Amino acid sequence: MLGVGLWSANPENSRRQTIDVFQDYELLKNKKISTSSNMLTIQPSTFGPRAYKTGLDAQKVAEASKRGIWSVQIKHPLLTIARLYTPLPPFLSDQNEPNQGEKFGYVSTNPEENQLRVLIRNNPEGELSRYLSRMQAGGRLELRGPYQEYELPGDVKQVLFLVGGTGISPAIQLAHTLLEKESDGVKPKVSILWANRRSEECEGGTIDPPPRSDTIFSRAWGTLFGTETPPPRNDIQSNQLESPIVKELSTLKARYSGPFDVTYFADDQQRFITKQDIQRQLHAAIRATGSAATESRGKSLILISGPDGFVEHFAGPKVWREGKELQGTLGGMLQKMDLQGFTVWKL
């Protein structure tokens, strides 16, 4: 998830910061994965007076990861502009066994391996987004954290993610955390409904044809990502058969199968997340547990991650009060549904 320095106003989140000052990081790789998003791989800087410092505290990051969703604040090296980004977990296909990722990626104790992978949206109107999307290997940026963005309640039984665009990062991060641990020998059920403006964002994922009712819904949905008709792709290699993000989701599905599933949606295919799609997921959860979430053992969650318009459409807006960003009341589509005892949280 993104944010504009908003967490520093919250004493609880400030207390959970690892460091109060930014550290120098450098870009290792900038991979363009669609016309509107890039994946950055960064590590603590190898040059300058703070070269090869430890970067993020590995123990603090591991603790934040176990608690739920965490993010880092990335700052433009020359401007006072900073935003929050949610790192992706270590790439699962590079691991032979679960938990090997603790030796690599965002929980490494070796500064030379203390790498982070961050998915960013290319916003031509954003100074930081524009800088990050155009960075070359060796380019500088500043980073601090971790920030605890969301803390899981105890004994989670099932999670349904409603995701828009680059909001997929918190979903992958939390899915990785949940599926790596067990509760009474049973892994939590994690389902993701991932919507994008363009099908190229989820290249390689299967998008089911829209039911007739979707065509009525499309106009209301089309503005949530900015425009009704996505511009055509123009600079992505045509032989890219599978998006790197889809590849990671496929790896999670192959590893965990039953407890994990993903459904893909794309505006340019006239396929939108509808009330019927959500209801199917809720009914599937009831069948899996044999009872409604209010009657089953463990907590059931609906987490919503994406642009403000996306979140508002499904659950109503978050609100600001006394310098803090709060959940606000439940609104939008979910407010009108029988949620079968699921608890909703807006990321």
Contact (CB, 8 A) for 76 and 141:
yes
CB 127 within 8 A of CB 78: no
Residue 4: partners with Cβ closer than 8 Å, 6 or more residues away? 82, 83, 84
Let me know: does 119 contact 91? Beta carbons within 8 Å. Answer: no
Q: Closest Cα to residue 71, out of 54, 58, 57, 88? A: 88
pLDDT tens, N- to C-terminus, the chain (347 residues): 443 333 333 434 433 444 568 888 999 999 998 888 999 999 888 765 555 456 788 888 888 998 999 999 999 988 889 999 999 987 654 444 444 333 333 444 454 557 899 999 988 888 999 999 999 999 999 999 999 999 999 888 899 999 999 999 999 999 998 887 765 567 889 999 999 999 999 998 888 887 665 443 443 444 555 444 444 443 333 335 788 899 999 988 888 877 899 999 999 999 999 999 999 999 887 776 655 555 556 789 999 999 999 999 999 999 999 888 899 999 999 999 999 899 999 99
Confidence (pLDDT) at 39: 94
Return all residues near 244 (Cβ < 8 A) that are at least 6 apart: 31, 33, 39
Chain-centre distance for alpha carbon 128: 19
pLDDT value at residue 77: 87
- The confidence score (pLDDT) of residue 290 equals 59
Q: Give residue 252's pLDDT.
A: 87
Q: Tell me how far apart the alpha carbons of residues 105 and 261 are, in angstroms, rounded to a whole number.
A: 24
User: Which pLDDT score, from 0 to 100, does residue 154 have?
Assistant: 83
Q: What is the pLDDT of residue 334?
A: 97
